[in-house]
Structure 1
Amino acid sequence: MNATTPRRVLVTGAASGLGEALTSTLRIRGDEVLATDRVAADGIDLVLDITSGDDWTAALGLVEERWGGLDVLVNNAGVAGGGRIELCSMDDWRWITEINLFGVVRGVQTFTPMLKAQRSGHIVNVASLAGLVHPAGMGSYNAVKAAVVAFTETCGHELAAYGIRASAVCPSYFRTNLLDSMQGQDETLARMITELVEGSDITADDIASAVLAGIEAGEDVIVPDEAARQAYFLKWADRAAYDKVMRHQAARLDALS
């Protein structure tokens, strides 16, 4: 499929933030987009709670009825969370895993038979820079986002013979409303993350444009902003320097508590 051919796309978490920006960017390109979200809102075509198998089945049925197939599945919906080891409860771990990891898995499992049958498609799973580099205080978030990256790579290998690609999206901090969903007891971490998000000069539209370019380039791991690329490169190129940065951040987190 060339860069000008309209595609049939399903986007989760499309009511706000990156999901809304992706939906707009894809439609400007000329794609047909089924915009879904957990709650009904302006611009949402289908209510889809990504933790519900029944909702995913309904989404598949609507795609079959409307289009008869799907070109791009964008698993974007997710929540923010985390906390230092002793401040992140097992309930918090279960909550973030159910949404940020199992929500992605449910979507991929639902649509894989369709994609395999048509022998084409592109799975795009929105992870985070936290899936590639792992700062202190964010153990649960790091773990589930790293799992999304690993799962996406596995999908790419497993489905390549069917003409299906899989890409993981790994942005750093950008201005979004993701923190509205943040849950956990570590208030110091929440303040630090809020400062990083609100202080970023990167917008959801910036990330969406870079993601679209990465999809069209067929990138397996889309690192859509310079800050994320620099952090990932530092880990790869100079592990000692990377560890120093991460441990300085850990010390600052403790000092602010």
Structure 2
Amino acid sequence: MDPIAPARTLLGRSRTVPGAPRRVLITGAASGLGLALAEAWAQRGWNVLLTDRDEEALARETARLAAIEPRSTRGEEAAARLASKQGAGAPPEPRIASLTLDVTDEDDWLAARDWVNETWGGLDVLVNNAGVATGGRMELASMDDWRWVVDINLLGVVAGCRTFIPQFKAQGSGHIVNTASLAGLIVPPTMASYNVVKAGVVALSETLRWELMPYGISTTVVCPNFFKTNLAQNLRTTDASVERAMDKLVSKSTIPASVIAEQVVYGVDEGKYLVLTDRQGRIAWWVKRFVPPLYRQQVAKASRRLRDSAEKYDRQPTETKG
């Protein structure tokens, strides 16, 4: 039993104007989980603002999603009612839109806030999803990589929250969704920098859960296991053995981003705080909390296996690596 389940009634759906389509801003929305989330909410008739640094992919995917017919027409009907109230000559509000946003740039965040206020009159859900991947044995990971992943994966989330929390408080409603990782709960070896920032996102989310609850603002933290994504393709590491191991883990996964997205959307609808996206991840988290000796045994075993694999890889001639 979830010991905090009774609090879910206080952490439920954001309050919006009855009948109005809900409004969501998603970072890192040009690919991967962010794009899958944008598509899932577009299919439900939501107003969706996709944001990313990749302008070309952003424009392409926004055009594709704009052509999607929502599964339910409720959102479109509500949008039509709002448009009629604005007057026949008023330009229609875009249901699917995009904005270039670098999560490390505070000016970009302010521009995004101004856009949703001027265009939609507010925001219901903020999804801090943009992220990068780093990994490597501790002594091989560079300080530049540490700073890079902290700036994007942790401080980028902080910047998004700081931008929209005052607005959510003024509205008396809002929902913050932060994409962390199972690595923020389970902390596997050879991924120190990634583990640290994702654990930071989990800690931030739990803090905000209680800090913002009295204001009618909900918080959800998403902790997916490995799934089919392009994140590993952009892995930054100086440890080739870890890059090889990461490629194998992602390639073995059979879970597409669309499945993760549906679980996140359901979690937001139900006001869930923690979203674990697969059975293996839920078991691992349960074992760590309730059977710590078994958890320590399994992590120690994995650590020795990773050590042996890395040392074997290091001994290979350069021309045979890859």
Please tell me the TM-score bracket, short chain as reference: over 0.9
TM-score by length of 2: 0.77
TM-score by length of 1: 0.96
Deviation at 1:5, TM superposition (A): 6.4
1:99 aligns with 2:117: no
Taking only aligned residues, the RMSD between alpha carbons, in angstroms, comes to 1.5
Amino acid of the residue matched to residue 254 of structure 1? R
The correspondence for 2:54, drawn from 39, 45, 53, is: 39
1:243 aligns with 2:261: no
CA contact (8 A) 1:210 1:225 kept: no
Distance 1:32 1:102 in 2: 26
1:220 aligns with 2:220: no
1:23 aligns with 2:38: yes
Deviation at 1:159, TM superposition (A): 1.0
Deviation string, structure 1 residues 147-174 (Cα, Å, up to 9, x no partner): 0001011111111111000111001000
Amino acid of the residue matched to residue 15 of structure 1? A
SS in 2 for 1:132: helix
Deviation at 1:6, TM superposition (A): 2.9
SS in 2 for 1:9: strand
Deviation at 1:180, TM superposition (A): 2.3
Distance 1:225 1:33 in 2: 26
CA contact (8 A) 2:146 2:193 kept: yes
**TM-aligned CA distance change 1:5 to 1:248, over 3 Å:** farther
Deviation at 1:227, TM superposition (A): 1.7
The correspondence for 2:168, drawn from 115, 125, 143, is: 115
The correspondence for 1:146, drawn from 193, 196, 199, is: 199
Distance 2:42 2:20 in 1: 12
The correspondence for 2:264, drawn from 183, 205, 211, is: 211
% same residue? 50
Deviation at 1:43, TM superposition (A): 2.7
Deviation at 1:252, TM superposition (A): 1.5
Query: Once structures 1 and 2 are overlaid, which stretch shifts more, 237-246 or 24-33?
Result: 237-246
The aligned residue for residue 13 of structure 1 is: 28
Distance 1:70 1:156 in 2: 18
Amino acid of the residue matched to residue 147 of structure 1? G
CA contact (8 A) 2:14 2:175 kept: no
Over 6 Å off, 4+ runs: 2-5
Q: What are structure 1's unaligned runs of at least 5 residues?
A: none
CA contact (8 A) 2:22 2:46 kept: yes
Q: Which has the larger radius of gyration?
A: 2
Distance 1:192 1:39 in 2: 27
Query: Where do residues 25-104 of structure 1 align in structure 2 (5 Å cutoff)?
Result: 25-40=40-55, 41=57, 42-44=60-62, 45-104=98-157
Q: What are structure 2's unaligned runs of at least 5 residues?
A: 1-12, 63-97, 311-322
Distance 2:245 2:294 in 1: 22
SS in 1 for 2:176: strand
CA contact (8 A) 2:14 2:174 kept: no
SS in 2 for 1:222: strand
Distance 2:260 2:280 in 1: 12
